[in-house]
Amino acid sequence: MKIRETGIVGCNIIYPDIFNDERGSFCETYNKERYIKEGAIDSGTTFIQDNLSFSAWATIRGLHFQKGEHAQAKLVSCLMGEVMDVIVDCRESSKSFGKIVIYTLDSVDKHQIFIPRGCAHGFAVISASAYFYYKCDNYYNKDAEGGILYNDEKLEIDWPFIENHRKISEKDLELPKWSKAYKFK
């Protein structure tokens, strides 16, 4: 396993060891002791909830986060297909506050991204469809939902697809812009 730091403090890309032979492939997708020892995740992280979403081509989900005591660290991966993954550091005390990381995740390379608490997250499906999997270190709480409008011009995220092809929920289209959304208090 290899770990690469991103431009966001505490956010790491994880390259698992993949073993291939004539039958197919195998890789370890999570081992708490090893991930902590090798610096892939924070030592205080204990995942307690797993989520799986299935999305069609041109779907954009996000940018989401949980606020306050319900904030979540996530370990994300794409089990089938390919996605453009987007992370925004919303932690005002962070040296990387406001920075954005964009990375392609797919089911072939099996890379993962560890997203620390206090970051907004979203993705766009760039294959015909995708299964997106993520582990969370805190339970989802509807009252703690937060987010940033995906196409806020201040963020300058170059989302794929022309606007009228994008599949975005009404809820995500109503998220506030960056200037109002990143407050975690």
Q: What are the catalytic residues?
A: 64, 134
8 Å CB contact between 124 and 82? no
DSSP string, 97-137: TT-EEEEEEETTT--EEEE-TTEEEEEEE-SSEEEEEEEES
Could you tell me what percentage of the chain is helix, strand and coil, using 3-state DSSP and rounding each to the nearest 5? Answer: 10, 40, 45
3-class DSSP state of 167:
strand
8 Å CB contact between 30 and 16? no
Give exposure, 47-58, as e/b (b: 16+ Cβ within 10 Å).
beeeeeeebebb
Cis preceding linkage at 79, omega within 30: no
